[in-house]
A and B are shown apart, each in its own frame.
Chain A
Amino acid sequence: MYNFEFVKPATVDEAVAALQAEDAQPLSGGQTLIPTMKQRLNAPSTLVSLIGIDSLKGVSEAGGVLTIGAGTTHATVAAEAGAYPALAALAGGIGDPAVRNRGTIGGSLANNDPAACYPAAALGSGATVVTNTREIAIDDYFQGMFTTALEEGEIITAVKFPIPEKANYQKFEQPASRFALVGVFVAKTADGVRVAVTGASEEGVFRWTEAEAALSANFAPGAIEGLSASADGLIGDLHGTPAYRASLIKTLTKRAVTAA
């Protein structure tokens, strides 16, 4: 790790101001950023810690929408998002207890790791990302792995999840990292079904629209029996070929529908 300055503001405004410094980076739970800094792969001049900002924390439900402060840890979501059980379950399955008690939903969505769980939940739920300057519809938010619609210095403050009628997340773990080799989030709402896939694509989280159409017509595992996810653009590595990941997408989607 290289030397860096560290500031811990108490408000979003102070944090936004502090991020104006050259090569400043926001730090939330640090579950990705700190390891990359330790490996000297990332060298911010200033870390702006967001975890001292109380307004970024908390889980609340109103009018069928679950709002989660960006600085809320996975462990808190697992414990307090009972209004959206599939989301609470997903949060409870991220990493290990140490990760869940440090990592935050805002940090995960801002980082947009192609194998992270939260992007699947957000995309699958049709969530809205709230920042210090605007609200971003989730379909406009993810822009390829490790890339989002966030501007320089823009901070996620909360994420709003419309609570679906039914939902489920199925994660098939990569054997070493235990990140999602493939993860599928299925949500059934009055407007139809959304199927979001993480872990599989070179472009990060994506929606499997053919399955969405089939499941919107008939929310049953058999509805997608005749479909197959395309292997084009899927990740191939030590842990699985694109064809294997494509197969998992279908299997996990069926299992999510069954379990929802």
Chain B
Amino acid sequence: MPKDHGIGASSKRREDVRFLTGEGNYTDDINIAGQTYVHFLRSDVAHGTITNIDSSAAEAMDGVLRVFTAKDFEAVGGIPCGWQVTDKFGEPMQEPKHPVLAEGKVRYVGDPIAAVVAETPELARDAAEAIVVDIDELPAVVDMKAALTDGATKVHDDLTSNLCYDWGFVEENKAAVDDAIANAAHVTTLELVNNRLVANPMEPRVAIGDYSRGTDDYTLYTTSQNPHVIRLLMGAFVLGIPEHKLRVVAPDVGGGFGTKIFHYAEEAFVTFAAKAVNRPVKWTSSRSEAFISDAHGRDHVTKIELALDKDNNFTALRCETYANMGAYLSTFAPSVPTWLHGTLLAGNYTTPLVYTNVKAVFTNTVPVDAYRGAGRPEATFQLERVVDKAARELGVDPTELRRQNFIKPDQFPYDTPVAVTYDTGNYHATLDKALEMSDYANFDKRVAESKSRGKLRGLGVAHFIEACGIAPSNLVGQLGARAGLYESATVRVNATGSISVLTGSHSHGQGHETTFPQVIAEMIGIDESQIDIVHGDTSKTPMGMGTYGSRSIAVGGSAMVRAAEKVINKAKKIAAHLMEASEADIELADGQFTVAGTDKSVAWGDVTLAAYVPHNYPLEDIEPGLEETAFYDPSNFTYPSGAYFCEVEVDPETGEVDVLGFTAADDFGTVINPMIVEGQVHGGVAQGIGQALLENCSYDDNGQLLSGSYMDYAMPRASDLPSFDVDHSCQTPCTHNPLGVKGCGEAGAIGSPPALVNGVIDALHRGGYPVEHINMPLSPSRVWEAIQSMK
């Protein structure tokens, strides 16, 4: 019988009561007395020199407080990058200044040139239209390979070229990899694109700056996944405001998917401008603005080669990737194609030699940064595509080729050739589970049934491994992170026994307010309703690093467990005193402290009351109160994995792909709330299918965004998706965190694109069209063209 509370129970999401009844408190719901509004005048050309800005007409308009341009920010720093990658020659990456407002040049369509602060949003927009900007247009740098040719126009004049870095990993293995590929019995090669995406959280970004002249305190309300990180980056590197004078609040946030991790210029602007005009300043992004100002995702161009011996064992893997950085380095952009990508290229396999080369390139496009999965989807996609192609070339079943090359269950912990050590896993188990769930054995019958209707049916297989629970601080520090990646929690027990957990993790849809209390409830044995989560406000919670990289439960949850353990240890001391027993004999279960071997007991609430009303209390030994804080720094990443099967039907006349079924057999280690985990997989798979089938962020040669609205940028809808078949019963708990959890937020988006593409390719082959590859999204026209190319 399933549990109805605590770890493993599908407790209903308590936060949904307010989200589904319009009671949420999103940043745009916050309005401060005297608030003003900013409108950003953004570049409509991709590249050019600003020769003049005449804002006199705008400034003269009634209701306009002030017009800002780059000259107002001369004393202010640039938007910092949070990760420095060292290239294969040992040199630091090229890192251009990223000004709050464009300095001298515009570098992408959407680059903010000027900002108008006015009494109303409409006035601010009207005034922005009255600003005259003269720009001498320059050639736009759009194509990555062209950007690296001699004589290419430079995005940044002060850099030597458009190359941010040329990274090799593992550089010492390069010669051995080259040699293995040169001497392999079989080499499968594939060139592919991981398409650029727009994250499109349901809530666009919003920022409100507030400043008190009386106290010299600043407050920034912002749609962020990590308010402390914003406070650190913006306070220390941009505006020079010390932490104790700067509060950052990220209240309810309507989806992030990575794009709300980063520190954006708009946040620094409203904070700076609030003091300059001595009024609160609010910015609310329109959806159109989001397309050209939220960091984009993915955008890799890759060549991958897989070498196999005569027995079909993988012997080496070599990858060459061009990774688009866009016009400036967004907060974590350099880490995505390198450490979040190269370290995953062993996948689920025993490939002994791996080498990847990544060239990160500046272009006149919106900055590119982490998007659900961040580097790991790109690694998984290329690896699972090339493995699938190899199986086809060798005439072996794609599941069997994978099984043969899997790391075996008894090989864990497993040292990969790409620096990471997988602690646990059982890839055979998830594969077997997916085979069963997808009724793989009867697939041929379904192919025949489709054929009778003139349709081509295919089944795509993909496995994935991801590195989550980001990350050990000392390790990422060596790799170039300019921050630690621990997490914090305070467990604050109130006098009557109820508990507030202050966490540095941030919930923007994940359900922390439900799952975190389940853990505490399990540990203490009190009802979940007695526990609340506080997050998203630097004035309330200890310094925390926020939520991304499927890290909340693995790192933030671990910090919470550590703090709760401290609380329980202290509570046991109090209970021992109350029952006149030895502390060593005290046991806690179901909210009752008992003395082992006796019938003595005191309730949780009696102990907590004693802590705050310490009349009968060991004051000589311990302090009153019951509140503990822990900072948890993980000793390793966690490694969720899974087997994803996607069954599709292709209409050969139109190229339309119908996703008929999707099977996800995941190993997330311990699962706190199965319903929420299932929902996370559903959302991730929907996003992955969106990338594979629909979403296409496309620029023309002039750097104009062709898919700048939902008229041309196709988001997945319920009608595009099948009913997912999701399982997470294969559990190999993480060995190095207290809950055994691995994280589940990104898995769906990582494993599903190769499953879908492999399925379509399978359908085409079975239908007599031996297409090798189609770049995502597999739109009807692209699939149709691939079919035509085989006729």
Contacts and interface: CB of A to CB of B under 8 A. Distances in A.
Given A238-B696, A238-B712, A172 B654 contact: yes
Interface in A155-178: 172, 175-177
Given A238-B698, A238-B712, A248-B654, A175 B780 contact: yes
Interface in A1-50: 39-40
Given A175-B694, A238-B698, A251-B654, A244 B710 contact: no
Given A239-B779, A241-B785, A244-B784, A175 B653 contact: no
Contacts of A240: 779-781
B780 A176 contact: no
Contacts of A244: 655, 780-781, 784-785
Contacts of A241: 781, 785
Contact of B713 (A39, A176, A251): A176
A177 B710 contact: yes
A143 B626 CA distance: 79
Contact of B653 (A39, A40, A177, A251): A251
A177 B712 CA distance: 6
Nearest to A252: B654
A148 interface: no
Interface string B255-290: 000000000000000000000000000000000100
Nearest to B712: A176
A39 B289 CA distance: 11
A247 B655 CA distance: 11
A176 B707 contact: yes
Interface string B638-668: 0000000000000001111000000000000
B109 to A, nearest CB: 15
A102 to B, nearest CB: 17
B654 A176 contact: no
A251 B784 CA distance: 12
Interface centre among B693, B710, B711, B713 (most CB of A within 10 A): B711
B589 interface: no
B706 interface: yes
A25 B784 CA distance: 42
Nearest to B126: A2
B578 interface: no
A175 B714 contact: yes
Q: What DSSP secondary structure best describes chain B's contact surface?
A: loop
Interface string A228-259: 00000000001111001001100100000000
Interface in A102-129: none
A112 B693 CA distance: 30
Contacts of B711: 176-177
Contacts of B129: 40
A145 to B, nearest CB: 15
Nearest to A179: B711
A237 B715 CA distance: 18
Interface in B754-787: 777, 779-781, 784-785
Interface centre among A39, A175, A248 (most CB of B within 10 A): A175
A138 B188 CA distance: 58
Nearest to B785: A244
Contacts of A176: 694, 707, 710-715
Interface string B663-704: 000000000000000000000000000000110101000000
Contacts of A172: 654, 656, 780
B513 to A, nearest CB: 32
Nearest to B693: A175
Contacts of A175: 693-694, 714, 777, 779-780
A133 B171 CA distance: 79
B784 A247 contact: yes
Nearest to A241: B781
A9 B655 CA distance: 48
Contacts of B713: 176
Contacts of A177: 710-712
Contacts of A251: 653-654
Contact of A39 (B288, B693, B696, B706): B288
B328 to A, nearest CB: 26
A240 B655 CA distance: 11
A244 to B, nearest CB: 5
Interface centre among A40, A172, A244 (most CB of B within 10 A): A244
Contact of A239 (B715, B781, B785): B781
Interface in B709-733: 710-715
Nearest to A175: B714
Contacts of B288: 39
Nearest to A96: B717
A75 B693 CA distance: 30
A111 B712 CA distance: 20
Nearest to B719: A178
A226 B385 CA distance: 39
A175 B712 CA distance: 8
Contacts of B784: 244, 247
A240 B653 CA distance: 14
A221 to B, nearest CB: 12
Nearest to B781: A240
Contacts of A239: 712, 779, 781
Contacts of B693: 175
A240 to B, nearest CB: 4
Interface centre among B710, B780, B781 (most CB of A within 10 A): B781
B119 to A, nearest CB: 16
Contacts of B698: 238
A42 B191 CA distance: 44
Contacts of B780: 172, 175, 181, 240, 244
Nearest to B715: A176
Contacts of B694: 175-176
Interface centre among A181, A238, A240 (most CB of B within 10 A): A238
A141 B713 CA distance: 32
A176 B698 CA distance: 13
Interface centre among A181, A241, A247 (most CB of B within 10 A): A247
Interface centre among A40, A172, A181, A239 (most CB of B within 10 A): A239
A251 B777 CA distance: 23
A1 to B, nearest CB: 8
A244 B654 CA distance: 8
A103 B715 CA distance: 23
A51 B383 CA distance: 57
A176 B693 CA distance: 11
Interface in B120-154: 129
A251 B711 CA distance: 24
B698 to A, nearest CB: 6
Interface string A180-212: 010000000000000000000000000000000
B785 A238 contact: no
A166 to B, nearest CB: 22
A177 B709 CA distance: 9
A71 to B, nearest CB: 25
A238 B713 CA distance: 10
Contacts of A39: 288
B91 to A, nearest CB: 39
Contacts of B777: 175
A218 B593 CA distance: 88
A100 to B, nearest CB: 16
Interface of A: 39-40, 172, 175-177, 181, 238-241, 244, 247-248, 251
Q: Which 9 pairs of residues, A with B, have the shortest CB-CB distance?
A: A176-B714, A240-B781, A175-B714, A177-B711, A244-B781, A251-B653, A176-B712, A175-B694, A238-B706
17 contacts: A175-B779, A176-B711, A176-B712, A176-B713, A176-B715, A177-B711, A177-B712, A181-B780, A238-B706, A238-B712, A239-B712, A240-B779, A240-B780, A241-B781, A244-B785, A248-B654, A251-B654
Interface of B: 129, 288, 653-656, 693-694, 696, 698, 706-707, 710-715, 777, 779-781, 784-785
Given A175-B777, A176-B707, 12 more contacts: A172-B656, A175-B693, A175-B714, A177-B711, A238-B696, A238-B698, A240-B780, A241-B781, A244-B784, A244-B785, A247-B784, A251-B654
